[in-house]
Amino acid sequence: MGGWSRDDIPAQHGRRFIITGANSGLGAETAKAVAAAGGQVTLACRNVAKARTVAEQIGPAATVAELDLSDLASVRAFADTVDEADVLVNNAGIMGVPYGRTIDGFEMQMGTNHLGHFALTALLIPKITERVVVLSSIAHRFARIDVDDLGYDRRTYRRAIAYGDSKFANMLFGLELARRFEAAGSSKIAVLAHPGYASTGLLGKTETTFDYVMKAGDLLRVGQTPAMGALPQLFAATSPAARNGTYYGPRGLGGLRGKPTVARTRRAASDQDLRDRLWSESERLTGVEFPAV
């Protein structure tokens, strides 16, 4: 991959992208870069006002649609408005929030980061012609996921662990989707990415000592800009070289910063039984049965 950058994005003329959470941070940078290369982008966001500001910066190539991933009714309503798209980028996410429940009763981080995207992808997959990009995180390494207790009904809630659980769920979902595409002989692909340590609006809001670690990282300039952090998912979304079931992230400082390269997943990510159980539980909780891919 060498020193892949935004300048290496191939022409995207005629291609249509749906990018969740594109009102700020990594999603906004992804939308801007795709549109600059000629693509048409739908900014699917909960905060429509902020999304419109980004869309105005992009110009006619951008449209805004309301999507609240913590509300399955909103997910269904948005999916009903989509006719067809080439690429779905599952970018949106929340991090380190206090314990809370979504409208549908899910733990807030798992419900927003994983279950909302799972339902959205299931509803849109017949309309996606080329690829799905799933955004995970280096925090997946710290997950202690319990498929039988995704809502923290029995476990003690810890914000950082719950965030890691949700991002590991993203990873398990993306890898399993890729496996199912391959098994079905589909031309579609699922590609995974993570931004490393990108200084976005997600950081510094956990109200725990983790905030001080993040602040120290910024002061020491460990973190990178959202534009740099978006490179792995831009590669995953636009490059002909992106491979089904492959996980991309920054190459430097143990995956914290730098140009994109192939990243490593946890050994547990290859546990087929764990993937199958998460998939089934996600279908049960959301009430959305994933169609044949």
Q: Where are the domains of the chain?
A: 6-196+228-285
CA-wise closest residue to 109 among 159, 147, 63, 73: 159
Kindly report the pTM of this predicted structure.
Answer: 0.92
Q: End-to-end CA distance of the chain, in Å?
A: 29
Sorting pLDDT into bands at 50, 70 and 90, what band is 218? very low
pLDDT tens digits for range 280-292: 999 999 999 999 8
Residue 206 reports pLDDT greater than 60: no
pLDDT at position 201 is: 58
- Residues classed as catalytic: 163
| Tokens found for residue 212 | 């001080």
Q: How far apart are CA 285 and CA 119, in angstroms?
A: 10
Q: How far apart are CA 117 and CA 290, in angstroms?
A: 12
By DSSP bridging, strand 40-45 and strand 16-20 are parallel
pLDDT tens digits for range 14-32: 999 999 999 999 999 999 9
pLDDT at position 207 is: 53
DSSP 119-132: HHHHHHGGGEEEEE
The sign of the dihedral angle between the CA atoms of 115, 179, 260, 278 is: positive
Backbone angles phi, psi at 138, to 5 degrees: -65, -20
Backbone angles phi, psi at 105, to 5 degrees: 90, 10
Map residue 132 onto helix, strand or coil: strand
- Quickly tell me which residue has 């500001």 as its tokens: 53
pLDDT at position 213 is: 44
Instruction: Specify the CATH number of the domain 6-196+228-285.
Output: 3.40.50.720
Backbone angles phi, psi at 127, to 5 degrees: -100, -5
The sign of the dihedral angle between the CA atoms of 186, 290, 180, 191 is: positive
CA-wise closest residue to 194 among 131, 266, 146: 266
Q: What share of the chain is helix, strand, coil (3-state, %, to 5)?
A: 45, 15, 35
Residue 187 reports pLDDT greater than 80: yes
As beta bridge partners, residue 88 has 18, 132
Residue 219 reports pLDDT greater than 60: no
38 DSSP 8-state letter: T
112 DSSP 8-state letter: I
Residue 135 reports pLDDT greater than 80: yes
Sorting pLDDT into bands at 50, 70 and 90, what band is 38? very high
Sorting pLDDT into bands at 50, 70 and 90, what band is 221? very low
Residue 210 reports pLDDT greater than 60: no
pLDDT at position 199 is: 74
pLDDT at position 212 is: 43
CB contact burial 31-52 (16+ within 10 A = b; e otherwise): bbbbbebebbbbbbbbebebbb
